[in-house]
Amino acid sequence: MSLTQAPAKSLRVLRFDRVQRGAHWANALLFFSLMFTAIPLYFGSFFGVVFPRHLIEMIHLWSGLALPLPIIISLIGPWGRAMRHDVRRINYWTREEIHWMRTLGKSTLEADKFNPGQKLNAIFVGVSILVMLVTGAMLQWFRIFPVPWRSGATFVHDVFAWAVFFVVIGHIVMALTHRDALRSIFKGWVSRSWAERYAARWIQEEPSGELKH
Ligand code: HEM
């Protein structure tokens, strides 16, 4: 279904509440800021020509230190119920899902709210936030760490930075080519027919009252 052909409200189901959408976009903004500032930090020759180094370093550092906040805030407190529910879903893998992943999506699957590729993406984002935060803090407060630790932190920070670029670009391509899923991260809902087709297990499990938009 195209973005313009919206189904009636009674035929919509809520996929992401406001808290989840807010967390997603705050997280995306911080990742964008980190990736944008990472380019001149990596290719040092940009400095002095286009960017003042200190400013770029500060934007990178503060975006990095803020990175876990959207996820933490969206998880704690009474407003985080849907987010906590989704984290449990992402951590739960059935045999069929593992098989689907191994066969690169060629086996049949009655998908959960998120397909295994989407689950893997979310896990990667969570792990990379943690790894980048720890290694980034070591790069910033390097004096308290022995030299081999510092070089290890630089290496891991760089390797994960490359992986983040690949995964984020892949994520954007997938989002742009899956319009219903894309709309749900802007507006919250998907059509019931889409959910029955692409997230059949989710639709069967959730009491329909909770899903109504
Ligand atoms: C999406 C996440 C991130 C990406 C893609 C990224 C990427 C990079 C890259 C490519 C560099 C240059 C490394 C080099 O010169 O070899 C760098 C440096 C650095 N990063 Fe990150 N980073 C991320 C997250 C973080 C976080 C969470 C922190 C938190 C503290 C952080 C703190 C730093 C610091 C302090 C430096 C050193 C800056 C300098 O040259 O003085 N980064 N980052």
Nearest CA, atom 21, ligand 1: 136
- Which of 29, 60, 154, 164 most suits a substitution to test ligand 1, by most atoms within 8 Å of the C-beta? 60
Note the pLDDT of residue 96.
Answer: 94
| Alpha-carbon span 190 to 6, nearest angstrom | 9
Residue 1, in any domain of the structure: no
Say if residues 36 and 43 touch (Cβ distance below 8 Å): no
Nearest CA, atom 17, ligand 1: 38
Residue 3, in any domain of the structure: no
Residue 62, in any domain of the structure: yes
Domain that holds residue 46: 9-211
Note the pLDDT of residue 2.
Answer: 46
Residue 4, in any domain of the structure: no
Give the predicted TM-score (pTM) of the model.
Answer: 0.89
Q: Which atom of ligand 1 is nearest to the CA of 57?
A: 38
Residue 43, in any domain of the structure: yes
Q: What is the whole-number distance in angstroms between the Cα of residue 151 and the centre of ligand 1?
A: 13
Say if residues 67 and 19 touch (Cβ distance below 8 Å): no
Q: What is the whole-number distance in angstroms between the Cα of residue 114 and the centre of ligand 1?
A: 30
**CATH (domain of 16):** 1.20.950.20
Note the pLDDT of residue 35.
Answer: 97
Note the pLDDT of residue 213.
Answer: 44
CA distances from 195 to 85, 148, 170, 188 (A): 17, 50, 23, 13
Provide the number of structural domains found in the chain: 1
Residue 65, in any domain of the structure: yes
The encoded tokens of residue 45 equal 């020759």
| Alpha-carbon span 47 to 53, nearest angstrom | 6
| Alpha-carbon span 149 to 138, nearest angstrom | 8
pLDDT truncated to tens, each residue of the chain (213 aa)?
A: 445 566 766 689 999 999 999 999 999 999 999 999 999 899 876 666 667 889 999 999 999 999 999 999 999 999 999 999 999 999 999 999 999 999 998 888 888 999 999 999 999 999 999 999 999 999 999 999 999 999 999 999 999 999 999 999 999 999 999 999 999 999 999 999 999 999 999 988 875 545 544
Note the pLDDT of residue 79.
Answer: 97
Residue 2, in any domain of the structure: no
